[in-house]
Amino acid sequence: MIVKPLLVAALALLAVTASAQTALPTDPAADWSVATSEHRVPVEGGKVWVRVNGVIGEGETPVIFIHGGPGGTHVNFGSLLSLADTRPVILYDQLDSGMSDHPENAANWRPERFVAELEAIRKALGGVERWHVIGHSWGSALALEYAAAYPEHTASAVLSGTFLSTSHWITGTNLLIRDLPDDVAATIRACEGPTPPAANVCEPATAAFYAAYNGRPDRPAPTPVMLAYRQRYGGKGFNATLYNAMWGPTEFRASGSLAGYDVSGLLARVDGKRVMFVVGQYDEARLDTVQDFLALTPGAELAVVPGGSHAYITERPEVAEAIFRDWMARKDAQGREGK
């Protein structure tokens, strides 16, 4: 559900390496940083940075991708910009993340403000009457909240790497810890206890959890284009302060404002035929939990990415693109047919 501090630190290290060794791409056709338009949209608390590939009003129904966190950025959606061959693709950084304003005001860190942020973007872009909302991890909760609040503007909602309930998430991560090697699981439990061991003991165990469920060892290495994009458009990157305030110190313990968060009840309020859940085979968002959510959403679909973890979008980009492309094409066709 959450963008991982350890993972972000690793990406930051890769970006530094790229700046020293890799020139920015010179081929615009291969450069993620080439957007059709960029915007700074006023929202409660400041302005958020938005990029659009494609022209609003042309092609099929637009899609907006909603990143995880809280405190993450849009950058891992870069490989999905290929979807702009048929429809406008909209990426953005939530307030206090990445390229957007960083007022660092905790009064802004409320789920309802993040949902209102989405609607402000839709209105500011003009001509977006309906769009597909695809949220990953924390972003999937925002996608569901948006779909429930604005059904008239939601062509479909994809709940990817699904986080809808903190209690379900914590139960799931603790079951996943149990499946790790005994020594790793014991170390993680000790690190979550009242008197944790030193960081040099805890960090390798946490890294082992991520390698199993969020960034598999066989994932492809970042390409020069990916690294250069992160260098150019990473902004201030992941916001650990926001993450800690809303979630907590680790994936396994929620002590922030989302500790009692649960929007699974909204599944009964949305049109299930316009909802799809997507998880990786080895996702932190456990398949059995997501199947429970699926059962609460009559008519919804479920896609599982073989070999993928919570980071399946960067691990299996071709599969992710194919799933999203097929889903949106079918929903668009059904919309034209009035179904």
Name the active-site residue from 79, 283, 309, 332. Answer: 283
Name the active-site residue from 137, 140, 156, 165. Answer: 137
Q: What are phi and psi of 238, to 5 degrees?
A: -65, 140
Tokens for 88? 């406008």
Q: How many CB atoms lie within 10 A of CB 256?
A: 18
d(CA 305, CA 226): 22
Nearest Cα to Cα of residue 73 among 51, 54, 55 = 51
DSSP type of residue 336: H
Is residue 93 part of the annotated active site? The answer reads: no
Distance set, CA 95 to CA 33, 153, 195, 236 (Å): 20, 22, 35, 11
The angle subtended at Cα 43 by Cα 38 and Cα 48, nearest 5°, is 35
Distance set, CA 122 to CA 26, 42, 116, 225, 244 (Å): 32, 12, 10, 29, 29
Is residue 310 part of the annotated active site? The answer reads: yes
Is residue 31 part of the annotated active site? The answer reads: no
Name the active-site residue from 67, 74, 136, 310. Answer: 310
**Residues designated catalytic:** 137, 283, 310
